[in-house]
Amino acid sequence: MVSPGQLYLLAVTVMALVALAAAAPVLLGIAREGRERLRRGGPDLPAEPDESGESADSSDHCCRHCGAENEGEFAYCRECAGPL
């Protein structure tokens, strides 16, 4: 005869095994992602921009007031705050 205590222990063990089996792929995926990030060199940073593919018309990104280079998406110069 199985006592209630043993039955409870069996049920808890089965549930723990089922939970572990369900969580194993997720944990393995997290571990794999972490290893890949370490291999890439640290935190999840965006890829470095390719300097070789610089566009020819860089005049659009240069401030016409002070000549400072600005990113294409900005509307105002980061040096003199003039409109680009």
**How far apart are alpha carbons 29 and 31 in whole angstroms?**
5
How many helices and strands, by DSSP H and E, does the chain display?
1, 0
65 binds Zn ion (CB under 5 A): yes
Answer yes or no whether residue 78 interacts with Zn ion by CB under 5 A.
Answer: no
69 forms part of the interface with Zn ion (CB under 5 A) = no
79 binds Zn ion (CB under 5 A): yes
* Helix/strand/coil for 76: strand
Nearer to Zn ion, 7 or 81 (CB): 81
66 is a site residue for Zn ion (CB under 5 A): yes
